[in-house]
Structure 1
């Protein structure tokens, strides 16, 4: 089948140029290679396509009919090549982005909003889920995640930002419960547990001035798998919440939540954009990564 398609392209070129030599120059092959392609095609079809003479070539009846089909095949292939190049080089086609609901609402949409408006030939699909989505099965172009895929050679990791963890609570909660002055005081308080976090109840704190580390296992009576739900529960005064600073920034600025144990630091994470590992990424993916990096660098 592939040989037939190659032969059809050579045949269309020969007819278009009116000679084997002209076709050879266009295709960058030898005249004998062109002649061989035509003979092979005629043998496969079982008909003569060209009358050959020392002065010129002419189409047989079968050749004239077959030429129209060959032209359509070559034209379709060229249109396909043009479309592929457009998708590679232009901001057009589809872009599929996976992230968590909170990252999507608080950061990915604000980061890309102006960019989306400027490129209306781009169709964007967002997948918002706290579980990992298989990038190949779901044809994901960019996934924004808190952890890299170090054991998967099919993926590339692009660091976007360092992200600090922190403990927060509502002013109401802190007024009504025992003071928190040292990490050990946390043992007397309830942690609102976000179940999607690994080791959510084990809190590690490092004193900023001395570097001394303390690990505390907190108890939890309220659990959720959703960050937005956890923030609402914390604002209602039901416990202490372990959060990424970037997700709770607005609540801190408004005063609805305040940081607990400001003289201590929790371990930080790195936020990554993950893509499939390719030698050359389409322009839409490259530009989207640039916009995301710029946003997180500025923020």
Structure 2
């Protein structure tokens, strides 16, 4: 089939130019290669397409009929090439972005909102989930992750921001229960456990001035796999919770939550935009990455 399609394109070019040599110049191949393509096509079809003479070429009846089909095939291929180039070079078509619900609402949508409004030829699909998404299976263009897939040769990771973890609680909770002045005081308190984290009840704290490290295992009776739920539970005084600072920024700014042990630091993370490893990225992906990087750089 592929050879037939190639032969049809060569045949259409020969008829268009009226000669094998003119077609060869257009296609960048030899005249003998053009002649071979036409012979192979005729043998495959079982008909003669061209009358050949030393002075000119002319179409047979079968050739004239076949030429119309060949022109349609070449035209369709050219239209397909144009559409592919448009998707590569223009901000159009589909853009699929995978993120978590928290990052999507608090950061990614604010980062991209103006840009999306300015490019209404883009169809944008947000997949907001806390589970790992296979970028190939789900046809994801950009995934927002807290760690890069450094061992995966299929992807490229683009750092967006350093993200601090914070241990927070509501002011009402802190007034009702024992004071928290040192890491060891945490053992008398309840941690709202977020199951998405590795070892969710184990806290590794570093004293800012001395760099002294302390590991504390807290107790939990409330568990969730959702940051929004964990944040609401903390605001309602059900315990302490460990959050990414960017996820808790609104509550910290409003005073609904306050940082516990501010002189101690939890491990930080890096927020990445992850893309599939391609020789050339479509413009819509490149531009979207630029917008995200600019937003997070300004917010740093």
Same topology, TM > 0.5 = yes
Superposed, which structure 2 residues align to 1:14-163 within 5 Å?
A: 14-163=14-163
Q: Following the alignment from structure 2 to structure 1, what is the Cα–Cα distance between the partners of residues 57 and 186?
A: 92
The 5 Å alignment of 1:216-231 reads: 216-231=216-231
Alignment match, 2:10: 10
3-state SS of paired residue (1:297):
helix
Instruction: Give structure 2 stretches of 5+ with no counterpart.
Output: none
Q: Distance in 1 between matches of 2:282 and 2:294?
A: 19
| Residue 174 of structure 1: how far off its partner (Å) | 0.7
Q: CA deviation at 1:39?
A: 1.1
Structure 1 equivalent of residue 293 of structure 2? 293
Counterparts of 1:191 and 1:169 in 2: how far apart (Å)? 10
Counterpart check, 1:204 vs 2:204: yes
Cα distance in 2 for residues equivalent to 1:40 and 1:238: 79
User: 2:191 maps to what in 1?
Assistant: 191
Q: Displacement, 1:258?
A: 0.5
Cα deviations by residue, 1:221-253 (Å, 9 ceiling, x for unpaired): 111111101111111111111000000001000
The DSSP-based 3-state class of the residue aligned with 2:37 is: helix
Partner Cα distance (1:243, 1:211) in 2: 21
How many angstroms apart in 2 are the aligned matches of 1:80 and 1:293?
33
Q: Distance in 2 between matches of 1:150 and 1:199?
A: 22
Residue 56 of structure 1 and its aligned partner are, at CA, apart by 1.3
Structure 1 CA distance, aligned partners of 2:266 and 2:133?
Answer: 28
1:169 is matched with 169
* CA distance, structure 2, for counterparts of residue 236 and residue 36 of structure 1: 80
Aligned equivalents of 1:255, 1:112: Cα separation in 2 = 27
Query: What whole-Å deviation, never above 9, does each CA across 1:176-230 have from its counterpart, x for those lacking one?
Result: 1111111111111110111111111001111111111111000011111111011
2-side partners of 1:244 and 1:5: how far apart? 56
Q: Residue 220 of structure 1: SS of its match in structure 2?
A: coil
Q: CA deviation at 1:57?
A: 1.0
Q: Which whole-Å deviations, capped at 9, do the CAs of 1:30-76 have from their partners, x for residues lacking one?
A: 11111111111111111111111122111100000000000000001
Alpha-carbon separation, structure 2, partners of 1:244 and 1:36 = 66
DSSP-derived class of the 2:111 partner: helix
- Compute the TM-score of the two structures, normalised by the length of structure 2: 0.98
Secondary structure at the counterpart of residue 232 of structure 1: helix
Hey, what does 2:179 align to over in structure 1? 179
Gaps of at least 5 residues in structure 1 are none
1:273 is matched with 273
Q: Across the two proteins, how many residue pairs are aligned to each other?
A: 299
CA shift, 1:151, in A, is 2.1
How far residue 150 of structure 1 moved from its aligned partner, in angstroms, is 2.1
For 1:36 and 1:196, locate their aligned partners in 2 and report how far apart those are by CA, in whole Å: 63
Q: Distance in 2 between matches of 1:217 and 1:152?
A: 33
- The CA deviation at 1:97 is 0.6
Secondary structure of the residue aligned to 2:220 is strand
| TM, length-normalised to structure 1 | 0.99
Distance 1:280 1:50 in 2: 42
* Structure 2 Cα separation of the partners of residues 199 and 270 of structure 1: 19
State the Cα distance separating 1:116 from its structure 2 match.
0.5
